[in-house]
Amino acid sequence: MPLALGSIVDGLAMARDQRATRPGLHSATDLGDAHLLSPPVSYTISEEDRAALCLHQDSATSGRYAYQRSGTRPAVVPPVDRPTVQQILVVDDEPQLVEVMGRYLRRLGYEVHLAGTAGQALELVRRHKFVAMVCDVGLPGISGTELVRCALLDEPHLAIVMCTGANDAATAKAAMARGAADYLVKPVPLAELGASIERALVRRQGMIEQEEGDRQARDLLSNRTEELMAERSALQALTAGVAEALVNAMEQKDVFLRGHSQRVAQLAGEIAVAMELDAATVAAVQLGGRLHDVGKIGIREAVLHKPGRLSEEEYAHVKEHVAIGMEILAPLPNLWPALEFVHHHHERVDGSGYPQGLRGEAISIGGRILAVADTFDALTSIRPYRERLGETEALAVLGGMTGTMLDETVYAALEQVVRDRRARWLAPFAADVPDTLFMQMAS
Ligand SMILES: [Fe+2]
């Protein structure tokens, strides 16, 4: 296969390199007045064996070179110890210097691109996948330090070695602060340049591996968190199902309570939304509404169904439903904070409630919401001892309890919910109802 790399000069350099590492192999320096017989690119071997040494690109090693004697089996040069050819960009406005550095780095096995200005360098950075850049500090136009910043924006993992004159050391250090890995003072010994690039590449590889490790750790944590959230949701759904069965059993005892907890859950959830609480709290409020009276399963039916006024002993017995409910639900701790809301649903903001006599904001927000929703639903539902109230009357009764027994903010949200419900209910008929009447009905 014919030589594909730029020029015969490169081929000669490769041949010299191979001679250094493989003494038995004839190289271009053995050829005397070597001349080109192309294609393929060939050099006449000197008098020793009069064979031809053919230099060609070995497609199997992707850009590496092999030598063969004419008429003999190709002797493939072992690839350098890198998985692929690494690309390096050399940027300097001194053409001779940039050529020397480029030639040296090619001998080390890198694919080298050259640039004389920062603009050319950035253009090449965008077109190639460089692992490293050797960069002069004192470039015309855009400076070397600015080039460092711009190049790292395009290729964050680029290993950058600065080359500077003796009086540019402070600037070179500034370039390192912008992300360069090292700086060398001109004249730069080539061996030192090679060693510096190797160090920068090792550091670069370490950064890449660390970022990859961090990314994998984040992915693992994210996946595990999602799994835990799914498990938690499944457990909560199972627990809520158990609690639902308890509520259904409780409601079987009392026809007047049937549907009460479902309506309280619905209304409390709407109040929580109107108060712009977060979704998790809204869900907990709804669950608390469903569970708030589960303890009534432990209340004597004669007391629950009593049509007249309760005696003190009977009322004390009814109040026990909060403690009984907490005992029933205690084995389901993952229902928290809904459990706390259940515990607080008979507390009153003036401290007159039970079981703890909490005041104001010592009562959980869910507890204050359930108190309002529970009272409103009780007033607007039929009870053995009284008729139901209309919503407007019930709102008026609750309005008289705000600030003393019920939370004012929650009551305001209830008013909004009732208004919104009426508006939704009336909306289909709005076209048939005079505006003034509609406004009265919706208010
Ligand atoms: Fe209750």
Residues 301 and 421 in one domain: yes
233 CA → ligand 1 middle, Å: 27
**Tokens at 315, concatenated:** 């009322």
Res 1: pLDDT: 34
368 CA to centre of ligand 1 in angstroms: 12
Amino acid (one-letter) located at 266 = Q
Q: Is the pLDDT of residue 133 over 50?
A: yes
Structure tokens at 97: 């210097």
Separation of CA 273 and ligand 1 centre (Å): 22
Domain annotation covers residue 246: no
Residue 78 CA: distances (Å) to CA of 60, 72, 276: 11, 18, 70
**What's the CA-to-centroid distance between 443 and ligand 1, angstroms?**
30
Which CATH number goes with the domain that contains 194? 3.40.50.2300
User: Would you say residue 247 lies in a domain?
Assistant: no
Q: Nearest 5 degrees, angle CA 404-CA 405-CA 410?
A: 100
pLDDT band at 429 (very low <50, low <70, confident <90, very high): low
Q: How confident is the prediction for the chain on average, in pLDDT?
A: 78
Strand order in 130-136's β-sheet? Answer: 111-115, 87-91, 130-136, 159-164, 182-185
Domain boundary among 214, 230, 265: 214
Residue 419: pLDDT above 60?
yes
pLDDT tens-digit readout, 276-315: 999 999 999 999 998 898 888 888 888 877 777 888 899 9
The CATH code of the domain that includes 392 is 1.10.3210.10
CA of 425 to the centre of ligand 1 (A): 29
Are residues 9 and 35 both part of a single domain? Answer: yes
What whole-number distance in Å separates Cα of residue 365 and Cα of residue 345? 10
- Helix, strand, coil proportions of the chain in percent (round to 5)? 55, 10, 30
Q: Say if residue 307 is in the same domain as residue 369.
A: yes
If one counts the domains in the chain, the total is 3
- Same domain flag for 284 and 399: yes
- Higher-confidence position of 332 and 341: 341
Q: What is the pLDDT of residue 415?
A: 93
What band does 42 get if pLDDT is binned at 50, 70 and 90? Answer: very low
Q: Residue 208 Cα, ligand 1 centroid: separation in angstroms? A: 60
Ligand 1 geometric centre to CA of 424 (Å): 29
pLDDT tens track for 171-206: 777 888 888 998 888 888 899 999 999 999 999 999
Residue 413 falls inside a structural domain: yes
Confidence of residue 385 (pLDDT cuts 50, 70, 90): low
Ligand 1 geometric centre to CA of 411 (Å):
18
- Which residue among 214, 245, 280 closes a domain? 214
> Mind listing the pLDDT tens digit for each residue in 355-364?
999 999 999 9
Distance 342 CA to ligand 1 centre (A): 8
The answer to whether position 157 is within a domain reads: yes
Spacing, Cα 17 to ligand 1 middle (Å): 92
Pair 94, 34 in one domain: no
State whether 271 and 354 are in the same domain. yes
Tell me the CA–centroid distance for residue 234 and ligand 1, in Å: 28
Domain match, 150 and 272 both: no
Ligand 1: distance of its center to the CA of 321 in Å? 7
SS3 89: strand
Q: Is residue 273 part of a domain?
A: yes
Give the model confidence (pLDDT) of 217-248 as tens digits. Answer: 999 999 999 999 888 888 878 877 887 788 88
- Cα angle 173, 178, 179; round to 5: 95
> Based on the domain organization, do 32 and 100 belong to the same domain?
no
CA of 278 to the centre of ligand 1 (A): 25
Residue 248 covered by a domain = no
**Same domain as 178, residue 48:** no
CA of residue 333 to ligand 1 center, whole Å: 20
- Say whether pLDDT at 69 is over 60: no
State the pLDDT at residue 384. 64
Residue 233 lies in a domain: no
Comparing 38-42, 285-289, 405-409, the range with the smallest average pLDDT is 38-42
80 assigned to some structural domain:
no
How many Å lie between the centroid of ligand 1 and the Cα of residue 260?
A: 10
Biggest CA-to-CA distance, the chain: 129
Residue with tokens 């627990």: 239
Are residues 196 and 343 located together in one domain of the fold?
no
User: Does one domain contain both 39 and 122?
Assistant: no
Distance 296 CA to ligand 1 centre (A): 8
Confidence band of 348 (pLDDT split at 50, 70, 90): very high
Segment 73-83, tens digit of pLDDT = 444 444 444 44
Residues 174 and 262 in one domain: no
Question: What is the Å distance from ligand 1's center to 253 Cα?
Answer: 15
Compute, in angstroms, the gap from residue 232 CA to the centroid of ligand 1.
Answer: 28
How does residue 255 score in pLDDT terms, banded at 50, 70 and 90? low
Q: Which residues contact 36 (CB under 8 A, 6 or more apart)?
A: 8, 42, 43
Domain that holds residue 431: 254-442
Handedness of CA 368, 372, 377, 383 (dihedral sign): positive
